[in-house]
Amino acid sequence: MDHQVRHLALVIGSLREGSYNRKVAEYIRSIAPDAWQISEIEIADLPLYSQDYDGQPIECYERVRSQIAAADGILFVTPEHNRSIPAALKNLLDIASRPAGRSVWAGKKAAVLTASIGGYGGINSGLHLRQILQMLGVTVLVQPEAYLARIQSALDEQGVLVESRTQHLLQQWVAAVDQWLS
Ligand SMILES: Cc1cc2nc3c(=O)[nH]c(=O)nc-3n(C[C@H](O)[C@H](O)[C@H](O)COP(=O)(O)O)c2cc1C
């Protein structure tokens, strides 16, 4: 394995305080290789995208576009909302895809992980996200897929991810992402 620094942008699709997906992301950070420099792309403060903003320098839009442009890879950790991706995440995808011809997504690499309190693990959110990323020219890690069902049962009362089976799955996922980025 090489030890070149990797600049990874982390997108958490939930705005919820106490988000389970954020807990999963915290565990991923705790096991990430030393070479990973992870910076979160905050999405909570982004106004809903409108084409009318294309000519305007909106500071938070420029912030997320720059973060994506600078990243070697993007990690998406997201819930499913009504069988698709959360609106706040879609907003980020749209913002960074515009103005037309200046999308910062094309050529990027990404990995997708979903976590849900339900039994299907947010799989449809993950599949929808993959579909959108494909259209944006982002290459997405194919295997292993990671759709974590009943995520609340993998956490302890403090919200720490303690369940060994899920830990093992995430360790495999992180290793696969690292190898794929190299
Ligand atoms: C608007 C909304 C829609 C939801 N739709 C789904 C869904 O389609 N599938 C699913 O598995 N869970 C769904 N859930 C439940 C989420 O899995 C649950 O809220 C989970 O805690 C979200 O992740 P978070 O804790 O990171 O916010 C939905 C939750 C909300 C608030």
Quick one: pLDDT at residue 113? 98
Q: Which of 76, 117, 129 for a ligand 1 pocket mutation test, highest count of atoms within 8 Å of Cβ? A: 117
Whether ligand 1 lies within 6 angstroms of the CB of 114 is answered as no
pLDDT digits (tens, 9 = 90+) for 59-118: 999 999 999 999 999 999 999 999 999 999 999 999 999 999 999 999 999 999 999 999
For residue 120, which atom of ligand 1 is closest to its CA? 11
Whether ligand 1 lies within 6 angstroms of the CB of 118 is answered as yes
pLDDT digits (tens, 9 = 90+) for 138-160: 999 999 999 999 999 999 999 99
Residues 6+ apart with CB under 8 A from 176: 141, 143, 144
Percent of the chain with pLDDT over 70: 98
Tokens 């620094």 sit on residue: 5
The rounded distance, in Å, linking the Cα atoms of 77 and 115 is 7
Q: Distance, CA 117 to ligand 1 centroid (Å)? A: 7
Percent of the chain with pLDDT over 90: 96
Q: Which of 17, 26, 80 for a ligand 1 pocket mutation test, highest count of atoms within 8 Å of Cβ? A: 80
Instruction: Evaluate if pTM is beyond 0.75.
Output: yes
**2 pLDDT more than 60:** no
Whether ligand 1 lies within 6 angstroms of the CB of 102 is answered as no
**1 pLDDT more than 80:** no
Query: How far is the CA of 87 from the CAs of 24, 91, 142, 182, in angstroms?
Result: 20, 6, 24, 32
Question: Which homologous superfamily does the CATH classification assign to the domain defined by 6-181?
Answer: Flavodoxin domain (3.40.50.360)
Query: How confident is the prediction for the chain on average, in pLDDT?
Result: 97
